[in-house]
Amino acid sequence: MLDSIPDSTAGPRDRVLAAALELFAHRGYFSTSVPDIVRASGVSTGSVYHHFGDKEGIARTLYDSVIERMEQALEAIRERHPDTASRCRSMIELLFDIAEHDPDLMSFMLHARHREFLPAITPVCSSRPFQLMRGVVAEGMRRGEVRRMDETVAAVSVFGGALRLIQMRLDGALDRPLNDFLDDTWDCAWRAIASDAA
């Protein structure tokens, strides 16, 4: 799984990132002030600006690190599994795991793309993790494991349900852990795009 961002004992840079992740995830970007981050991290205003330049620099750094670790985890899954079905299923499992184990991280990642969160950030659909998921589905289509159709539609159809379920869990609308819903979710997801041959 993804390593959590370190806290307390770590250097000031990491302490700021850890505090910002939690605050951004809970209150959002604009409802979190720099003084809030300064207070929560125990790092001084001057240091924060020395390390990150400005408030957006904090968010951008955070976003980049989250996206990169996410991409690596997904890529690892792609390498480990040969067939499209187990690739997709493992990816959904990964997403569920992260959402349960590190909800702040998942919350940040799911929300960071909105205009409201980070001004002028690349939208999710163009983010590398999503492209990777899309690529897996597209490859499955070439191999005949996935039905022929628009690649984008196929990608959103496998992962769309899982992502929305995660959002519900993060919003507190699901009282049981996501794993309890994994089998049903996966069943729906794969039926949606599986080739009729199989």
Footprint of a copy of itself (CB under 8 A): 26-31, 111, 113-117, 119, 123-126, 149-150, 152-154, 156-157, 159-165, 167-168, 171-174, 181, 184-185, 187-189, 191-193
Which positions ≥6 away from 41 have C-beta within 8 Å? Answer: 12, 15, 16, 18, 19, 20, 48
What residue 179 binds from a copy of itself, DNA, none (CB within 5 to 8 A, per partner kind)?
none
Q: Choose the binding region for DNA from 10-18, 65-73, 163-171, 176-184 (rule: CB under 7 A).
A: 10-18
Q: Is 135 in the site for DNA (CB under 7 A)?
A: no
- Under rule CB under 7 A, residue 116 binds DNA: no
When the beta carbons of 43 and 105 are compared against a copy of itself, the nearer one is: 105
Given a contact cutoff of 8 angstroms between Cβ atoms, the answer to whether 69 and 3 are in contact is yes
- If contact means CB under 5 to 8 A according to the sort of partner, which of DNA, a copy of itself, none does residue 54 touch? DNA
What is the closest distance, in whole angstroms, from the C-beta atom of residue 127 to a copy of itself in the complex?
Answer: 10
* Nearest distance, CB of residue 14 and a copy of itself, angstroms: 24
User: First and final CA of the chain: distance in angstroms?
Assistant: 31
Cross-strand bridge partners of residue 194 = 146
Contacts 24+ apart (CB under 8 A), 81-84: 83/140, 83/145, 84/136, 84/137, 84/139, 84/140, 84/143, 84/145, 84/146
Minimum distance of DNA from residue 25's CB (angstroms): 16
As measured in angstroms, the least distance from the Cβ of 174 to a copy of itself is: 7
Give CA–CA dist 49/28, Å, rounded: 20
Q: Which residues pair with 146 in a beta bridge?
A: 194
